[in-house]
Structure 1
Amino acid sequence: MLKQFLNLKLSQKLSPQQIQLMKLIQLPTQAFEQRLKEELVENPALESGKDEEELYEKDEFDNNEDYDEYEDNDSIGADEINIDEYLSDDETPDYKLQSNNYSDDDDDREMPFAAPVSFHQDLINQLNTFILTDEQREIAEFLVGSIDDDGYLRRSIPDMVDDMAFTQGIYTDEKVVEKILHIIHELEPAGVGARDLQECLLLQLKHKTPTEYVDLAIDIIENQFDAFTKKHYEKLLQKYEITQDRLKKAIEEIEKLNPKPGGSFDSSSRVVEQIVPDFAIRIVDGELELTLNGRNAPTLHVSKDYQEMLQTYKDSRDKSHQQKDAVQFIKQKLDSAKWFIDAIRQRQETLFVTMNAIMHFQQEYFLDGEETKLKPMILKDIADMVGLDISTVSRVANSKYVDTPYGTKLIKEFFSEAMKNDQGEDVSTLEIKKILKTVIEEEDKSKPLPDDQLAEILKEKGYPIARRTIAKYRELLDIPVARMRKKI
């Protein structure tokens, strides 16, 4: 049975402007600059420049009533638009409206980009030094195209034979492909085209000048690879009946090899991505000084041409239907431009007050750079200090960098949970990780400390932590288990 009834309830909804503001706050400097360029292209009523005069009054942004007026164009008559709201006689120069709280790096900077030869193209160029038939070259180029960015050929030969037949019309057999693969193995960097780590290391060792230790290393990788990867050095000493020094020298030859031969080429030719700090902290006369990157404070203004269009419409006696449609469009663009300028100002303020609170919360660290002085700090601590929502603080911290006297740091790295020491005091988990890393670095590598012993050592230092927590922190620090840290 169907029933109709009225239900009255309250709900909260974010306006499109609030959503856009949150997105702007989340953007780091470089992404923000890109977003700014897109807005300047999309909205002709918005202009940038240092020498233009501001043609709007700041008080206009205090009235948000006009922001939603143009959401439904058909419901608004052009005669209802108050043209005077969009016109201003304000002749205040631009420089008087700018704050001096920003750095001088807001100039347009262009970086030259290299045009390197790709990894696969370099391999194909090397094939030109070999005498190959047309069929062999087609197979060789197919094999090169199947090599991944690490330099490995992770497909089986039968699969590639079938693939060449179905997709390339190249009919061959496994023996021919195996022969061509040996040619690929002669290319640089050594180890390229290997089908697994063992073959990759062997190829590199065989490219080396033969010596006593290189020959021993080849034998170990070829016949005792499992014992080597598990660091069963006692088994290797007994197997080869050699001294510990000889085994150490052979292992040193293996440790010099590159497990990802393609990665070395890629990293040397890849365009380096720069990190642009969003903030800078300096120590001036023993006090901390925070500045916001000037590239986050662009100079924007509403187009003078668009305001002149509105003035022309206001002064005209005969207002045609086309003119009314045009003024509707102009109004929309002016509203959008004014909101965007206001959103950028709110973004600047939000970024600055949030980072300022973080700086004062971690004042001891920023004054001397000692990581053990980082206090436990969660998003709620900063949100309570600045009166913002936790999600807003998270957006500021998640993708922003700060330039400090101790290097450029990701802001979210300053946040950590608290743990109790043996004195009952709250200490940062970052401090515990730093001490754990130091203990592992200073251990006897011939007898690495297992997690339970590490837990005992930290307990003696005043940090009662369970073994499973030690294992968790060790994995976060990308430190392997004791057996894999063993050296002879």
Structure 2
Amino acid sequence: MLKQSLQYKLLQKLSPQQIQLMKLIQLPTQAFEERLKQEIEENPALDTGKDTSDTDDDFSNEYEDAGTEKIEAEDINIDEYLSDDEIPNYKTQANNYSSDDEEKNVPYAAGTSFHQSLVNQLNTFNLDEEERAIADFLVGSIDDSGYIRREIIDLVDDLAFTANVFTTEEKVVEVLKKVIHTLDPTGVGARDLKECLIIQLKTKESNKVRSLAIEILENAFDHFVKKHYKKLQEKFSISEDELKEINTEISKLNPKPGSSYAGNNKIAEQIVPDFSIKIIDGELDLTLNARNAPELHVSREYNNMLKGYQESSTKSKSQKDAVFFIKQKLDAAKWFIDAIKQRQQTLLVTMNTIMHYQYDYFLTGDERKLKPMILKDIADKINMDVSTVSRVANSKYVSTPYGTKLIKEFFSESMKNDQGEDVSTREIKKILETVIAEENKKKPLTDEKLSGILKEKGYPIARRTVAKYREQLDLPVARLRKEI
């Protein structure tokens, strides 16, 4: 049975301009510069460069008393664009900008990519048509770490469907071992860590230690990775000193042969700090990177076009269309200039509040002085939405006397110590990291013991919480931290 009903909903929608502003705020310095270049290329009414103040003032005053003629069909007030929208002296620069500042571009060396290097090496092999097709496909299946993560049967199927090569698992394994596993860097094309390490050991000159190492990896890999050293000594009848030598030999191998390739053509990311915090006369000084404060104004040429139209005695349809186009471009230029100004203000206000919230840390660099701080703390202080603060924190860097830091790293949850004071979880993690670094590696501390030590230091934390913080610090369990 069909029914009709009337529903009322109250929805809040962001305008396209607001959405674009949010996107601008989220952009880090380098991406912002690219966005700026794109806008200037697409909108000829937007101009950059330095104009002399006297010239700008004369130009602005020239049209102060212009008429108010309108294009009736389009209802465009020419005077609006000849006066209010003309902002030749509008500059969205930070106070710290200097004309002596140089934009330093970091050159990147071009080179052969990791996968291209493997393909080039295949050209040195004498392979028939089928073997070459299989070898090319296997090289294409190698990930950036140097591994083939897929099952052989899946590769056989893909060869048939995508490359029209019908072969067998045995043939693929043959090419893998005869060709791919001999490529440089050694260990490339392995299907797992065990195979990767064994391939590397087998390419080295054989001796007693390496032979034992291969035997242990082939027959007791699980015991080795789990550091069951006593079981290994018993199983292979070796002493602790011999096991130490074997462990040292294996530790010299590369578990990720692909990532070590010097010519890997991953784009090197240059971090450009969006802010700079310095200590001047014992006080913190915050500045916005000048590259976030471009010099923008409305094109003089477009204003001349409007003035020419206004002074024209006859106005054709094509002229009216042109003026309507100019109006659109001037509106976009005005909005973009205003959006950049809002972006600057939002960045500075947000970072300034964060800086003062974490004043003791920025003054000393002591991470133990980082106060608990969540996005809402900052949002409430600057009367902005939490999402806006998040956009600033997640993608921006600040240069400090203690290094360049990602802003979101200053945010952390809180917990109470044994005196009932709120302390940052970041502080607790730092202490936990220090305790683990100083432990006896022959008898590493369990999470239960770490929990006890933290309680003694005044931080009543459960074992489960210790485990969570340890995992966040990317530290393994006690058994895997054990050393001989």
When normalised by structure 2's length, the TM-score is: 0.89
2:342 and 2:270 map into 1 onto residues whose CA distance is 26
CA distance in 2, matches of 1:418, 1:360: 18
Matches within 5 A, 1:433-444: 433-444=429-440
Q: Counterpart of 2:114 in structure 1: which amino acid?
A: F
Counterpart pick for 1:312 among 292, 308, 313? 308
CA shift, 1:16, in A, is 2.6
Q: Relative to structure 2, which stretch is displaced further, 121-130 or 186-195? A: 121-130
The residue number in structure 1 matching 2:65 is none
- Shift of the alpha carbon at 1:455? 0.6
Matched, 1:27 2:23: no
Partner residue in 2 for 1:64: none
| Match for residue 112 of structure 1 among 107, 110, 116 | 107
CA–CA distance in structure 1, aligned partners of residues 91 and 297 of structure 2 = 14
Matched, 1:480 2:482: no
Partners of 1:143 and 1:389 in 2: CA distance: 50
Partner in structure 1 of residue 276 of structure 2: 280
Distance 1:103 1:479 in 2: 45
Closer, same or farther: CA 436–244 of 1 in aligned 2, 3 Å: same
CA distance in structure 1 between the aligned counterparts of 2:455 and 2:365, rounded to whole angstroms: 25
- 2:393 paired residue number: 397
Amino acid at match of 1:128: N
What's the CA shift for 1:111? 3.7
**Greater shift in the superposed pair: 102-111 or 257-266:** 102-111
Report % sequence identity: 67
- The answer on 1:153 being equivalent to 2:148 is yes
Cα root mean square deviation, aligned: 2.8
1:24-61 superposed Cα distances (whole Å, 9 cap, x missing partner): 1111111111111121122111111124765897xxxx
After superposition, residues 342-421 of structure 1 pair within 5 angstroms as 342-421=338-417
In the other structure, the counterpart of 2:14 is 14
- Report the Cα offset of residue 11 of structure 1: 5.9
Residues 302 and 239 of structure 1, relative CA distance in 2, 3 Å threshold = same
Structure 1 residue identity aligned to 2:277: I
The residue correspondences of 1:448-487 to structure 2 (distance < 5 A) are 448-487=444-483
| Paired amino acid for 2:15 | S
Cα gap change, 1:487 to 1:403, in 2 (>3 Å): same
CA distance in 2, matches of 1:363, 1:107: 30
- Verify: 1:253 aligned to 2:263, yes or no: no
1:151 deviates by 1.6
Q: Deviations over 1:260-296 (max 9, x none)?
A: 2112117754331101110011111211111100010
Change (3 A) 1:300 1:93: closer
Aligned partner of 2:41 in structure 1 is: 41
CA gap of 1:255–1:239, structure 2 versus 1, over 3 A, is same
> Aligned residue for 2:210?
214
- The yes-or-no answer on 1:123 pairing with 2:118 is yes
Maintained 8 Å contact 1:54/1:301? no
Matched, 1:336 2:319: no
- Aligned residue for 2:371, secondary structure, equals coil
- Asked whether the 8 Å contact 1:120–1:144 carries over to 2, the reply is yes
Quote the offset at 1:322 in angstroms. Answer: 2.4
In structure 1, give the amino acid aligned to 2:24.
L
| Correspondence for 2:422 | 426
Deviates more, 1:272-281 or 1:179-188: 179-188
* Cα distance per residue 1:118-176 (max 9 Å; x no partner): 22221222233333344433333333223222222334444444544454344554544
Residues 425-434 or 40-49, more deviating: 40-49
The whole-number CA distance in structure 1 between the counterparts of 2:4 and 2:204 is 85
- How far apart in 2 are the matches of 1:11 and 1:247? 68
- Counting matched residue pairs gives 469
Structure 1 pair 183/108, CA: closer, same or farther in 2 (3 Å)?
A: same
* Closer/same/farther in 2, CA of residues 205 and 10 from structure 1, 3 Å limit: closer
Does the Cα contact within 8 Å between 1:54 and 1:91 map onto a contact in 2?
Answer: no
Please name the residue that 1:66 is paired with. Answer: none
CA–CA distance in 2 between the matches of 1:295 and 1:115? 26
| CA distance in structure 1 between the aligned counterparts of 2:45 and 2:424, rounded to whole angstroms | 50
Aligned residue for 2:427, secondary structure, equals helix
The verdict on how the C-alpha distance between 1:106 and 1:412 changes in structure 2, with shifts beyond 3 A counting, is farther
SS of corresponding position for 1:265: coil
Contact 1:78 1:327 in 2 (8 A): no
1:90 and 1:339 map into 2 onto residues whose CA distance is 10
**Cα distance in 2 between the residues matched to 1:368 and 1:90:** 47
Between 1:118-127 and 1:201-210, the stretch displaced more is 118-127
Structure 1 unaligned runs (5+)?
58-75
- What is the deviation of 1:250? 0.3
Partner of 1:132 in structure 2?
Answer: 127
Distance 1:466 1:402 in 2: 34
CA drift at 1:412: 0.8
2-structure distance, mates of 1:382, 1:191: 50
Q: Does 268-277 or 468-477 show the bigger shift?
A: 268-277
Q: Which residue of 1 aligns with 2:322?
A: 326
Give the one of 73, 82, 89 matched to 2:77. Answer: 82
Relative to structure 1, the CA distance from residue 136 to residue 404 in structure 2 (aligned partners, 3 Å threshold; closer, same or farther) is: same
Distance in 2 of aligned mates of 1:430 and 1:394: 18
CA deviations 1:233-273 (Å, max 9, x no partner) are 11001112222111011011111211221121177543311
Contact 1:101 1:292 in 2 (8 A): yes
Give the Cα–Cα distance (whole angstroms) in 2 for the partners of residues 270 and 28 of structure 1: 20
Deviation (angstroms), 1:454? 0.7
d(CA) in 2 for partners of 1:162, 1:97: 59
Residue identity opposite 2:26 in structure 1: Q
Is the alpha carbon distance of 1:366 and 1:83 closer, same or farther for their aligned partners in structure 2, counting shifts above 3 Å?
same
Query: What amino acid maps onto 2:28 in structure 1?
Result: P
**1:108 positional shift:** 4.6
TM-score by length of 1: 0.88
CA distance in 2 between partners of 1:161 and 1:189 (Å):
25
CA distance in 2 between partners of 1:320 and 1:106 (Å): 48
Tell me how far apart the structure 1 counterparts of residues 457 and 100 of structure 2 sit (CA, whole Å).
46
Residue matched to 1:65: none
Distance in 2 (CA, whole Å) between partners of 1:356 and 1:405 is 16
Letter in 1 for 2:224: F
